[in-house]
Homo-oligomer: A and B are copies of this chain.
Amino acid sequence: MPGSTDRKKNRLTAEERRAAIVEAAVRLFAEKGFRGTTTRELAAAVGVSEPVLYQHFATKGDLYTAIIEAICRHRDRDRDGLLELARHAEDDEAFFSRLAELILEWYDEQPEVVRLLLFSALEEHDLKDRFVETQVAMLYEILTEYLERRMDKGVFRRMDPYLAARAFTGMVSHQGMAKVVFGIDDLRGSRQEIARKIADIFVNGIRSHGAQGA
């Protein structure tokens, strides 16, 4: 049986090699974009020759598609946790603070996915649409649902829930984008503290004037 857990081999099984290629491709495409990455340097990063890439992926574009699939599959697992959080949330500050923290965490821990997504949007690849249709749509669904529920209770002021949702995600992800894309990281405090402060501004901004303060 080829390719068990043996570490002495310098030949991998097809499955292992494929995974290694995808991993290196995510790193390189995130760093230099699709057009900016050559199959030569990709092969060098994996530690094999170019034809090995083409045994697993017919074209460079197919490799890009495979990466998209891998990322989307990985991110779909976050879905359930987020829905759970929204359903059982009772304290507004705590809910938005936790949500902000999760988003900031994403920027911190997966900057290569953020860059990949931006490259994809600018270069008009498919990841953009896949991402918007699944991840973004889910986040907005959760947010607008929560906001409308609290508006109905009179805790939040009546307003366009989509605008409010975008305002919130904007406050948070702009912070993440500044760090990942522009290298600006000048805010004091931990990720949790920053998330809490942003949530505080937002919740106070949409709360009915009669309701209790922070």
- Is there an interface contact between B181 and A160, defined as CB atoms closer than 8 Å? no
Q: Does A167 contact B (CB under 8 A)?
A: yes
Q: How large is the interface on A (under 10, 10 to 19, 20 to 34, 35 or more residues)?
A: 35 or more
Q: Given that A119-B122, A174-B170 are known contacts, is A194 also in contact with B33, CB under 8 Å in the complex?
A: no
Q: Please list the 9 inter-chain residue pairs (A to B) with the smallest Cβ-Cβ separation, ordered nearest first.
A: A170-B174, A205-B205, A201-B205, A167-B171, A170-B171, A209-B213, A170-B170, A204-B205, A121-B181
User: Please, could you name 30 A-B residue pairs with CB atoms under 8 Å apart, sorted by A?
Assistant: A33-B33, A33-B35, A35-B36, A118-B122, A121-B181, A132-B184, A136-B182, A159-B201, A160-B189, A160-B197, A162-B186, A162-B187, A164-B201, A166-B175, A167-B171, A167-B174, A167-B198, A167-B202, A168-B171, A170-B170, A170-B173, A170-B175, A173-B174, A200-B205, A201-B206, A203-B205, A204-B205, A204-B206, A204-B207, A205-B205
- By a beta-carbon cutoff of 8 Å, the part of chain A in contact with chain B is 32-33, 35-36, 115, 118-119, 121-123, 128, 132, 136, 159-160, 162-164, 166-175, 178, 181-182, 184, 186-189, 194, 197-198, 200-207, 209, 213
